[in-house]
Amino acid sequence: MNLRALGRSGLSVSPLCLGGNVFGWTADEATSHALLDRFVERGGNFIDTANVYSSWVPGHVGGESESVLGRWLRGSGRRDRVIVATKVGMDMPGLGKGLTRAQIERGAEDSLRRLQVERIDLYYAHEDDAKTPLEETLAAFDRLVRDGKVRAIGASNYTAERLEAALTTSAASGGARYECLQPNYNLMDRAGFEGALAAVCERRQLGVATYFSLASGFLTGKYRRAEDAAGRARAGGVKRHFTERGQRVLDALHATATRLGSRPATVALAWLMAQPAVTSAIASATSTAQLDELLDAMDLRLDAAALQQLGDASAG
């Protein structure tokens, strides 16, 4: 299956994927629905969420993001215009952590109910489960595909070795295989994906949808010093990047954005979208103004000089 044609009526996934981790958390329901409306109006169609979003918030139990998205899907009438991805496998209250047959099957039913859809377009294993045989995990996913409850499956947070093993297992059984990898990949986090993981995706022809595409906000241009991140929801993730290399990347981003009349966040996403292995870059926003910056990346083509400058600054 080609990831670029996952949706109904042959929709091709947009190069920007809207991250739903903020829905019902740092973006309330009204704001989340406004973001979804703007995303579709400007040509986006790929939406990413997970059953565990946002269980980390006091008083939340998980499923909040899926429920917010589900009410938008029902009320907007735009189900046929979007590709919905969700996940199972991380520690979900009432379901636990893992990829056993029971957890996958119940997780899917719960997600279908919250999303108010008949089928999930892309269903990810949110993280690897080494305690459960790959045969059991993949058979459960295959059953969901055969039953029409899931269109395609993907993997997140897998090593190259485990991803290769999973693909080999699916080929041996003739069942559904992972069609997409969701790795942590951005200008600051390159080593974990480039190399073995990227090679597996290229050789096996998997799509790639990157998460933390803006390095937890570090690449948005909002921060020039570690102190600027104080009090932010992901302050820890931002502060760890304030190194000599991080400063080089920020300087290159700002210089490129100034030269091209763009914004640092737009440039950072455009760099990702220019990488041959990347199908779509996942990023979230809490206002339509922020979202517009992200969406602009779909129309920004970085020239050779910009790609060279950003690549050199982020190397190492």
The pLDDT assigned to 291 comes to 98
53 catalytic? Reply is: yes
Chain Cα centroid distance, residue 294: 14
Q: Which of 53, 124, 158, 178 is catalytic?
A: 53
Q: What angle do CA 294, 49, 288 make, to 5 degrees?
A: 30
Q: Which two tokens stand for residue 101?
A: 């047959």
Residue 48 has pLDDT above 60, yes or no: yes
Residue 236 has pLDDT above 70, yes or no: no
Q: Which two tokens stand for residue 202?
A: 């290229």
Residue 232 has pLDDT above 60, yes or no: no
Dihedral sign of CA atoms 162, 165, 169, 174 in order: positive
Query: What are 75-107's pLDDT values in tens digits?
Result: 999 999 999 999 999 999 999 999 999 999 999
Say whether 47 sits in a helix, a strand or coil.
Answer: strand
Per-range mean pLDDT, top range of 10-14, 156-160, 217-221:
156-160
How much is the mean pLDDT over the chain? 94
Mean pLDDT within 111-133? 98
Residue 234 has pLDDT above 80, yes or no: no
Residue 49 has pLDDT above 60, yes or no: yes
Domains and CATH numbers, the chain: 3-182 (3.20.20.100)
Residue 8 has pLDDT above 60, yes or no: no
Whether the CB-CB separation of 101 and 136 falls below 8 Å is answered with yes
d(CA 201, CA 163): 9
The pLDDT assigned to 233 comes to 53
- Full-model pTM: 0.94
Query: What are 192-224's pLDDT values in tens digits?
Result: 999 999 999 999 999 999 999 999 999 998 876
Q: Which two tokens stand for residue 95?
A: 């379901």
**Beta strand 16-19 pairing with 150-156:** unpaired
Backbone angles phi, psi at 16, to 5 degrees: -110, 130
Residue 137 has pLDDT above 60, yes or no: yes
Query: How confident is residue 239, by pLDDT bands cut at 50, 70 and 90?
Result: confident
Identify the CA nearest to 143 among candidates 93, 94, 91, 106: 106
Say whether 15 sits in a helix, a strand or coil.
Answer: coil
Dihedral sign of CA atoms 300, 307, 294, 117 in order: positive
The pLDDT assigned to 286 comes to 97
